[in-house]
Amino acid sequence: GVLPAGVALVAVPACIAGLGFTAGGIAAGSIAAKMMSAAAIANGGGVAAGSTVAVLQSVGAAGFSVAAKIGLMTGLGSLGAAAGASLP
């Protein structure tokens, strides 16, 4: 249960960085840049706080918050335990 959660805590931020949401900002020419452009056009020039783009950039810049880490560990740990219990 804990292993899948631990893997997720590493894999999810790595995937987010791979999209172009990095600690240094959104990478030019990346999927993140395209998402930000589309969000800005849709919102009249700005990216709304709390939007998908804003949240992904926050995670890309700073990683998960402690609360998010606890939530992932709890949720994925329970899922892993349930999956393990269903094995013959």
Model pLDDT for residues 21-66, shown as the tens digit of each residue: 988 889 999 999 999 999 999 989 888 888 889 888 888 887 655 5
Check residue 41 and give its pLDDT: 92
Q: Which 8-state DSSP code applies to residue 88?
A: -
Within 10 Å of residue 61's Cβ, how many Cβ atoms? Answer: 15
| Residue 55 in tokens | 């949240």
pTM over 0.75: no
| Residue 71 in tokens | 């939530």
How far apart are the C-alpha atoms of 59 and 8, rounded to whole Å?
Answer: 13
